[in-house]
Amino acid sequence: MTTDKIKVAAIQMTSTDDLGQNLATAERLTREAASDAARLVVLPECFAFLGPEAGKLDIAESLPEGGPILSRFVQLARELEVELVLGGFWERGRTSSKVKNACVHLDTKGEVRAVYRKIHLFDVHLPDGTVLEESDTVEPGHETVVTDTCFGKLGLSVCYDVRFPELYRELVSAGAIALTIPAAFTLSTGKDHWHVLLRARAIESQCYVIAAAQTGHHFGTRHSYGHTLICDPWGTIVSECGEGPGYALAAIDQAVVDRARTSLPSLRHRRL
């Protein structure tokens, strides 16, 4: 593990049903972040496709072998010599009617270092009339995942997972000093809960939180809240996106983690 300050970036974009445009935007923003000295870049949930449900079944790829989508980002990681976290990658399921919502960590050589499958699926009927039944087309995962990165151990999660703090306790127990929470948070829930939940996960876990988000209008009535951000282990937002595509950039510093965990040793005081 390094003691250096390592810059990371969290991408914000508006994915639609246009695969080619989505991938071009993700690549452009990744290149910009890398040119800004980011050594690890996180893409949001659904970065390759956010449209009618059938579309994600059509583009899903097997892991770790992948297909054209994974290959493109493997090559990008190698070219830029950056680590990538593909925040919500559509992985083929056990049947042709379902996929997995996978979070994929690629190292600087383009090797798949870790794959986390989203455990908690978003099945809700919101007050604004939005109805989302993720389990109709997505298989849930069952295992927590912590992966080694350029700055230390990173705990992987996706979007709705943020509402389940017990998941992050397991990630911290496995050594995580940072947590990634790529998301396509709905506009109606995001305006009330996004910042509160992310800061809470950072504070209780005494970890950095890297939250890459979708923003704006995708299709039909589907809108995402945006506000991609990075929190430090004290719960302070150290970088946040404005409106539209872009990225949040901040340094991960082991000394900041150590200082938070020493000055307020709540993780050592756990009894359950």
CA distance 159 to 152: 22
**Nearby residues of 228 by Cβ (< 8 Å), 6 or more positions away:** 10, 11, 12, 44, 211, 212, 213, 215, 240, 241, 246, 247, 248
Could you tell me if residue 248 is left (phi over 0), alpha (psi between -120 and 50 degrees) or otherwise beta?
beta
Could you tell me if residue 201 is left (phi over 0), alpha (psi between -120 and 50 degrees) or otherwise beta?
alpha
Mark whether 81 is an active-site residue.
no
- What SS3 class is residue 141? coil
Mark whether 45 is an active-site residue.
yes
CA distance 112 to 222: 31
User: Catalytic residue among 159, 207, 231, 241, which?
Assistant: 159
Mark whether 91 is an active-site residue.
no
User: Catalytic residue among 7, 45, 83, 231, which?
Assistant: 45
User: Catalytic residue among 56, 118, 240, 241, which?
Assistant: 118
Residues constituting the chain: 272
CA dihedral 68, 106, 232, 228 (to 10 degrees): 0
Query: Residue 264 has which token pair?
Result: 């307020």
Query: Residue 223 has which token pair?
Result: 């809108």
Asked if 53 and 167 touch (Cβ cutoff 8 Å), the reply is no
**Residues carrying an active site annotation:** 45, 118, 159
